[in-house]
Structure 1
Amino acid sequence: MKKFIVLKAFMAVLIGFMGLSLISCNNDGPDIPPVKLQDVIGNYKGRLITSQGNNKAEAVVSFAVKKDTIKFADLPVKEIVKAVVKDPAKTEAALTAIGKIKYNLNYTAVVNASYNAVELTFTPKTLELNIPMDGAVKKTIVTFTAKEKGFYVGQNYAMKFGLVAEKITVDGTVLTPYEMIKYDFPYCIKN
C-alpha cells in the first residue's frame, strides 16, 4: 500500500513538472526588437560580391544610408570598365584614371507586417562614366535595375540588397555582346 501511495505521489510530481516545462516552451526564442523606418539610417560596411557569368569578385565596401538614399563614396566598377575596355592592362590604367566613383541609390522603405524588418524598394539611377581608352574618352552609361527588394533587420542591425548592371551604352551604342553584372550585398552591418 505504501508503495502504491509513493508511486501515485511520484507520478503527480512528474506530471506537474511536465506541465510546467510545456508552459515554459510558449515563449522560447529570441526577442526580436521592433524596427522603425529611422533605424535604417547610418553608416554600413559589408561584403560586395560582383559576378558576371562564371566570374566572381569580392570586396569590402562602405556606404551611408540617408532618409531615402544609399550613398556610395567609392562604388567598385572594375567589371564595368573591363566590359568596355576588354584589355586587362588598359583596364587597370583606365580604373586608375577614373578614380573613385560616387553613386546614389534611391529607395523607399516600409516596415513589414511583423515589425521585425524594413523592406527597401529601389529606384536606381543610371551611372555615367568617362572611360579613357586609346587616347580617347568613352562616354559610358550604365543602366542599373533592382530585381528584388532589400531588407534591414533590427535584430542584428544588418542590411541585404542587390543591383544588376543590366545594360551598358558606350558613346550612344549599346554594348553587345554583354553579360549582366550582378552586385550582391549579402550582409552589411551598421557601424
Structure 2
Amino acid sequence: MKKLTVPRFFITVLMVLVGFTLYSCNDNEGPDIPPVKIENLPGNYKGKLIIVQGNIKREGVKDFKVKKDTISFAEFPISEIVKTVVKDPVKAENAIKTLGKVKYDVKYAAAINTANNVIELTLTPKTMELQIPVDGVNKKTVVEFVSKQKGYYVGLDQTLRYALTAEKITVDGTVVTPYEVIDYNFPFCIKN
C-alpha cells in the first residue's frame, strides 16, 4: 500500500505544478476589445426609455439620432409634460394629438475615457418651448431640462446610456407648483 500512496502523491503534485505552469502561460488580457473611438458614437439608435414622475413609471422604446455633437429626437415623448400642464385627461389627450410630433435636440460634449473604454458625454440640454392648446387658447409652456449625470457610450457592447430630467415647467410665465420632476432614463440604447 505504501507503494501506491507515494506515486499518487507525486502525480498529484505534478498535476498541480503543470496546472500552475499552464495558467501562468495564459494571456491575462482577455479577448481583444478594440478601443472606443469618437467616430463610433454617431448613428441611428433605438433604446429603452423609462419615464418616471413621482410614483408613476412608464416604459417604452424610442428612436433617436446621434450626430457629431447633438442627440436628436424626431418625436420626443411629451405626454407627461402636457398632463402636468393640462389636468383634465380628455383635454390633455386632445392637446397631445394637436401638438403631434415634437422635435428636440440635446447638445453634448464627448471625451474618451481610455481606462474604461467608454466615451463620456456631458449633456447640455436646452429648454423646450411648447404652445399647448387648451380651450382654444395656447398656453406658452417652457420646460427646463437638466442632466444630473454623464452619459456613456460603452465600447465593450457598443451601447449608449444617458438620462435627462425635466426639472421645471413654466406656463405663461408662472412656474408650475406643486411639480414632480420628470425623469427620462435611457439605460440601454443600440444602433439600428
TM-score, normalized by length of structure 1? 0.92
Q: CA deviation at 1:172?
A: 1.1
11-20 vs 30-39, which moves further: 11-20
1:188 maps to what in 2? Answer: 189
What percent of counterpart residues are identical?
52
> Which amino acid letter does the alignment assign opposite residue 110 of structure 1?
A
- The change in CA–CA distance for 1:24 and 1:55 in structure 2 (over 3 A counts) is farther
Query: Counterpart of 1:160?
Result: 161
The 1:5–1:117 alpha-carbon spacing in structure 2 relative to 1, beyond 3 Å, is same
Match of 1:77 in 2: 78
Aligned residue type for 2:117: N
- Indicate whether 1:137 and 2:132 are aligned: no
Amino acid at match of 1:123: T
Give unpaired runs (5+ residues) of structure 1: none
Whichever residue aligns with residue 82 of structure 1, its letter is K
CA contact (8 A) 1:34 1:115 kept: no
SS in 1 for 2:50: strand
Q: Answer whether contact 1:75 1:102 (CA < 8 A) is retained.
A: yes
Segments of structure 2 that go 5 or more residues without pairing to the other structure are none
Q: CA deviation at 1:176?
A: 1.1
Which AA in structure 2 matches 1:92? E
- 1:120-174 deviation digits (Å, cap 9, x = unpaired): 0011100011100011000101000000000001221111100000010111111
Q: Map 1:1-191; keep pairs closer than 5 Å.
A: 6-7=7-8, 10-11=11-12, 13-23=14-24, 27=28, 29-114=30-115, 116-191=117-192
Provide the C-alpha distance between the structure 2 equivalents of 1:60 and 1:77, rounded to a whole number of angstroms. 14
Taking structure 2 as the reference length, the TM-score comes to: 0.91
Residues in 2 aligned to 1:187 and 1:51: alpha-carbon distance in whole angstroms: 16
Assess if the C-alpha contact under 8 Å between 2:35 and 2:114 holds in 1. Answer: no
